[in-house]
């Protein structure tokens, strides 16, 4: 035969473990207090920190893009500078060759002028020497003729 237990409010109140209920209420109050005092401020700090990190990451990405653009611009400028340097070197080489050609031509002309002047001078000197030689031969001939004729040379 089963035993029937009559449950009434008084019996229920007597059978409840009040220590457990108080511990549950204390735990709920503790959770509420921790939520207000600890969890929400920590969550807010974490969200702020995450927002700062996101802002820093966004700023870093912007700076990275700017750095990439500057790098590309520097590379373009460097390539342009190299091209300009090659062009200037080629121009200098061309001008140097042209200057060398002109100086060689000027040196040839100067050498021809000097040779022509020397040849003219040599021709004048030969003519002068021929005249002197002719004058000496004439004088020798007169002196020889005077000696042959028995006269005194003049």
* Predicted model pTM: 0.44
| Domain range list for the chain | 16-149
CA-based R_g, the chain, Å: 63
Whose structure tokens read 């204390």? 26
Tell me the pLDDT band of 46, cut-offs 50, 70 and 90.
very high
pLDDT 10s digits, 4-39: 556 566 666 667 777 888 999 999 999 998 888 888
d(CA 61, CA 51): 15
């Amino acid at each position: 035969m089963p035993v029937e237990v009559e449950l009434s409010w008084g019996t229920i109140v007597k059978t409840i473990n009040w220590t457990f209920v108080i511990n549950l209420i204390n735990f709920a109050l503790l959770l509420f207090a921790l939520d207000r005092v600890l969890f929400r401020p920590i969550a807010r700090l974490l969200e702020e920190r995450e927002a700062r990190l996101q802002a820093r990451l966004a700023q870093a990405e912007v700076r990275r893009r700017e750095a990439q653009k500057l790098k590309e611009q520097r590379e373009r400028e460097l390539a342009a500078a190299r091209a300009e340097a090659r062009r200037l070197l080629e121009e200098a080489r061309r001008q140097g060759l042209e200057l060398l050609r002109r100086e060689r031509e000027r040196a040839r002309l100067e050498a021809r002028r000097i040779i022509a002047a020397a040849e003219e001078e040599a021709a004048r000197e030969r003519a002068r020497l021929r005249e002197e030689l002719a004058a000496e031969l004439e004088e020798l001939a007169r002196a020889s003729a005077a000696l042959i004729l028995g006269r005194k040379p003049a």
